[in-house]
Amino acid sequence: MEKTSLLPKNRLSCFKNKDLLVDKLDMIKKVIFYLFTTISLASETNPWGLSLFERIVNRKHISHIIMETRPDHYRVSLIVSDRFPYNYKSASYAFFLRYQDAKSAQETARILDKHLDLGLEIKLFLKGSEVTSYKLLPQRH
């Protein structure tokens, strides 16, 4: 009975397809580079680790603070625009706080405006477009 070996008789025959091996290595390098850059960019889109229901905004995000009247309540609306590069073909949108009287709505609008004018940030807790609560952050993140 003859012994058959899995190893080639000529060791150089392993490298007959050297070009194929080089092509595969190049492809692996490209895949690793793509995954590295994708993961790096993904980590930069949410640097604070916020949930979907939280948002940190500053004056660069908020263009207007508007007081609105509704039949059953008053609103303080924050008109928000996304910053570059996320603003490509995007529209402005509003987050609003709900109040029962005009005086408290006006006072909140004044406080938010002053805080944003100082260059500080506000952490918003959201339920859809409605701001359920907010926190004035003492310093920039």
pLDDT of residue 15: 54
Q: Classify strands 54-57 and 122-127 as parallel, antiparallel or unpaired.
A: antiparallel
**Contact predicate 58/120, CB 8 Å:** yes
pLDDT value of residue 60:
87
Sign for the CA dihedral angle at 38, 41, 45, 50 comes to: positive
Q: Which candidate, 89, 116, 110, places its Cα nearest to that of 124? A: 116
Chain mean position to CA 72? 34
Rounded to an integer, what distance in angstroms lies between the CA atom of residue 75 and that of residue 86?
27
Q: What is the pTM of this model?
A: 0.62
pLDDT score recorded for residue 27? 84
Report the pLDDT value the prediction gives residue 28, as an integer from 0 to 100.
87
DSSP structural state of residue 7: S
Interatomic CA distance for residues 106 and 69, integer angstroms: 11
**pLDDT tens by residue, the chain, 141 residues:** 555 555 555 555 555 566 666 777 788 888 888 777 766 655 545 556 788 899 889 888 898 999 999 999 999 999 998 776 666 777 888 999 999 999 999 999 999 999 999 999 999 999 999 999 999 988 765
List the one residue out of 136, 137, 60, 53 whose CA is nearest residue 95: 53
Q: What share of the chain is helix, strand, coil (3-state, %, to 5)?
A: 35, 30, 40
Cα–Cα distance between 13 and 62 in angstroms, integer? 67
pLDDT at 140: 60
Where exactly are the structural domains of the chain? Answer: 11-44, 54-136
Two tokens, residue 28: 């692996």
